[in-house]
Amino acid sequence: MERLKGQNRGELQIRAGFVLLLVACALATFATISSERADSWVAHTLHVRETLIKLYSDVRDAETGQRGFLLTQDPHYLEPYIRARSDIAATQSRLSSLISDNAEQTALLSKLNPLVDRKLGELQQTIQLSTQGNHDVALSVVRTNVGHRLMENIQALTQQMDRNESALLDQRLVAARHTRLVLLVATFLSVLLACVLAYRVRREATARQKAIEEKNHALEEQIQQRETAEMRLRQVQKMEALGQLTGGIAHDFNNMLAIIAGNLEMALRHMTRSDDALKEVVSRALNAAMRGADLTKRLLAFSRMQPLRPKSIDANDCVRSMLMILQRTLGEDITIDTALAPGLWRVFIDRPQLESALLNLAVNSRDAMKNSGRLTIETSNTYLDQTFADSHVEVASGHYVMVAVTDTGGGMAPDVIQRAFDPFFTTKEPGQGTGLGLSQVHGFIKQSRGHVQIYSELGIGTTVKMYLPRTSAQQDAEAFTENMVFALNTSKKVLVVEDDDEVRRFVVACITELGYMAIPAESANIAQQKLATYPDISLLLTDVIMPGKNGRQLVDTVRPFYPKLRVLYMTGYPRDAITHNGILDDNVRLITKPFSMQELARELRYAFAEEVV
């Protein structure tokens, strides 16, 4: 009997708790509706005030246009007047509609509209008099100050209507706050009572024990998930920190390399045939400098700071075009197989960098197979769902094209897989590799908003899967090709803006030797002065990162005054001045330091051949 009574009491408590929760939900819903109503009143008041401001502003604009015309007799000054007259009627109608439920405001508007009409009539009268040649008569009408008094009355009425709207809004907000407070207290009490009843129902020992067990199990899962997420986050933070470190030194390092490589190239060009021994020494030094430049490019790729030019491409076509190069690189003892999916989606990617990534993976596979085995390149359409995205940092769910490179090498141990994308990490013998191949691939794919994953088993082999973002756009036509020939024009002037003295001297010397006229400038401010001195400058060659105003800011400043000026940027570290997330802005031409005289000549020819829009 007691157990039955307890069960009945428990059921009553549960029902009462549900009733209280329903009451709380109803109160919360009513509170939400009340809040939305208050928000709508706020929006209505703001709309009324904006319309009042617009009406007064239109009348002022009309008067400004009239004053300008009377003073100058230039019809262009009437444009604000004409525009304002066309807007005022619509603004008056809109204001009348907004305050139609407010008798006081409607009465004020009935006084305001005739004043506006009289003001417009006064403006029209003076303009007609001046247009008909009675300029002095028109000015005498202005000097009567009738228009000034009309504007004062219009301003006073609009200000009074604005104050009325503000006061009305304050009253409504006070009422809404009071209602919201009452509903909040009632909701809190309902929820509190429901919680008390729920607590009493759940006091039974068996139910409490079960709840504790379930919570412990859920807590263990959360701890495991958190540990996994923290481990991945630490890896991402480590990669970002290394990327910032390497990217941070790239600018100065590339400037130094530009000076070294550039002057070595200039020395080679000026040596005579009798300097063959010295030429060989200088050539070796130049090759070493260019290898250093290549190393810097790899570091920028890893740190996701290389400037990319992504386009809509066919990944299958990219793989096919690389097969001959890969076969020559890997050797005859490695068989290359392909499994290219038909109907493959297009991808938005920088094709040369994708080709470089395929080559890097193929070379790593060749070394893992010890120059003998089978390499398979596979493509397919795939979808990464939200579950996969949640378990992998920096991955967004969606459609991707997968490009997988599989080898039959010795495979990787789990600890090696975890460090495989770290820069300078390598399992090769000293002197056999820089440890930047996979990190370069990782940085490029991540910068392209894709994903890369390694799957490997010891004694079986390794698969590296690159997930490239899908696009529906078709490939853009190339504006230039490498075999195009452009004639030099020695009359063209090139303004060279570079804050580093040695780099500036080298670039000026290169441009002069190429047959152009070079004008140096060490800062953006001096560049603007040179443009004013030499208005016939054809091209602006500017460094991106400079003290004070950077290259992009310089271009944005001078472009309105020199719309036909061609622009070529040069940099060793673009940051975000001409890129967004590493993607080059549209219509931006860039040459990266260090560069050879041949590369500079090609970019200058391309720049001069482009149409300036």
Contact between residue 313 and residue 476 where contact means Cβ atoms under 8 Å apart = no
Tens digit of each residue's pLDDT (9 = 90 or more) over 13-29: 677 666 766 776 777 67
**Residue-range definition of the domain harbouring residue 448:** 315-471
Task: Check whether 304 has a pLDDT greater than 50.
Answer: no
What is the 3-state composition of the chain as percent helix, strand, coil, each rounded to the nearest 5? 65, 15, 25
Domain match, 38 and 66 both: yes
pLDDT exceeds 60 at position 6? no
What does the buried/exposed string (b/e) look like for 568-607 if buried means 16 or more CB atoms within 10 Å of the residue's CB?
bbbbbbbbebbbeebbbeeebbbbbbbbebeebbbbbbbb
Q: Is the pLDDT of residue 488 over 50?
A: no
Please check whether residues 298 and 325 belong to one and the same domain: no
Do 456 and 604 fall within a single domain? no
pLDDT of 121 above 50: yes
Lowest mean per-residue pLDDT among 138-142, 189-193, 316-320: 189-193
Question: What integer pLDDT is reported at residue 531 of this predicted model?
Answer: 92
User: Do 461 and 516 share a structural domain?
Assistant: no
pLDDT at res. 502: 86
Q: What is the CATH classification number for the domain harbouring 529?
A: 3.40.50.2300
> Do 295 and 343 share a structural domain?
no
How confident is the model at residue 379, as a pLDDT? 93
Residues 330 and 388 in one domain: yes
Nearest Cα residue to 485 out of 610, 611, 609: 609
Does residue 421 fall inside a structural domain? yes
Q: What is the pLDDT of residues 258-271, one digit of tens each?
A: 677 667 766 766 67
| Residues whose CB falls within 8 Å of the CB of residue 74, separated by 6 or more in sequence, listed in order | 68
- pLDDT band of 612, cuts 50, 70, 90: low
Which of 471, 505, 525 delimits the end of a domain?
Answer: 471
State the pLDDT at residue 376: 93
Residues 287, 323 within the same domain: no
pLDDT at 481: 40
Any domain includes 308: no
298 and 320 inside one domain: no
Q: What is the pLDDT of residues 537-585, one digit of tens each?
A: 999 999 888 888 888 899 999 999 998 899 998 887 655 445 555 555 5
Q: What pLDDT, on the 0 to 100 scale, is given for residue 236? A: 56
155 & 188 share domain: yes
Using one digit for the tens of pLDDT, what is the confidence trace for 572-600?
765 544 555 555 555 678 887 778 788 88
Tokens matching residue 594: 């260090």
* Domain co-membership, 22 together with 157: yes
| CATH number where 413 lies | 3.30.565.10
- The pLDDT-based confidence of 77 (bands split at 50, 70, 90) is confident
CB 567 within 8 A of CB 235: no
> What is the rounded average pLDDT for all residues in the chain?
78
- What is the mean predicted confidence (pLDDT) over 461-467? 91
**Domain end among 271, 302, 333:** 302
Number of independent structural domains in the chain? 4
Whether the Cβ atoms of residue 397 and residue 413 lie closer than 8 Å to each other: no
pLDDT in tens, 393-435: 778 888 999 999 999 988 888 878 877 776 655 655 544 555 4
Residue 497 has pLDDT above 90, yes or no: yes
Q: Which residue has the tokens 């904006």?
A: 50
Q: Which residues are CB-neighbours of 71 under 8 A, at least 6 positions away?
A: 77
Instruction: For residue range 275-293, list pLDDT tens digits in order.
Output: 666 766 666 776 666 666 5
What is the C-alpha separation between 567 and 308, in angstroms, rounded? 18
Does a structural domain hold residue 397?
yes
Assess whether 104 and 127 both reside in one domain: yes
Q: Please enumerate in sequence order all residues whose Cβ is within 8 A of that of 469, keeping only pairs 6 or more positions apart, or say none.
A: 347, 348, 349, 398, 400, 448, 449, 450
Domain stops at, among 243, 270, 302:
302
* 376 bridge partner residues: 337, 406
Whether 562 is covered by a domain: the verdict is yes
CATH number, residue 195: 1.20.120.1730
Say if 564 falls within a structural domain. Answer: yes
Checking if the pLDDT of 482 tops 50, the result is: no
Counting residues of the chain whose pLDDT is more than 70, the rounded percentage is 74
Q: Do the beta carbons of residue 428 and residue 367 sit within 8 Å?
A: yes
Look at residue 75 in the predicted model and tell me its pLDDT.
86
Residue 76 in tokens? 């262009």
Quick check: helix, strand or coil at residue 396? coil
Does 488 map to a domain? no
Q: How confident is the model at residue 61 (pLDDT cuts 50, 70, 90)?
A: confident
Those residues with Cβ within 8 angstroms of residue 246's Cβ, 6 or more apart along the chain or in another chain: 299, 300, 302, 303, 423
Domain assignment present for 242:
yes
Q: Does some domain include residue 96?
A: yes
92 and 188 part of one domain: yes
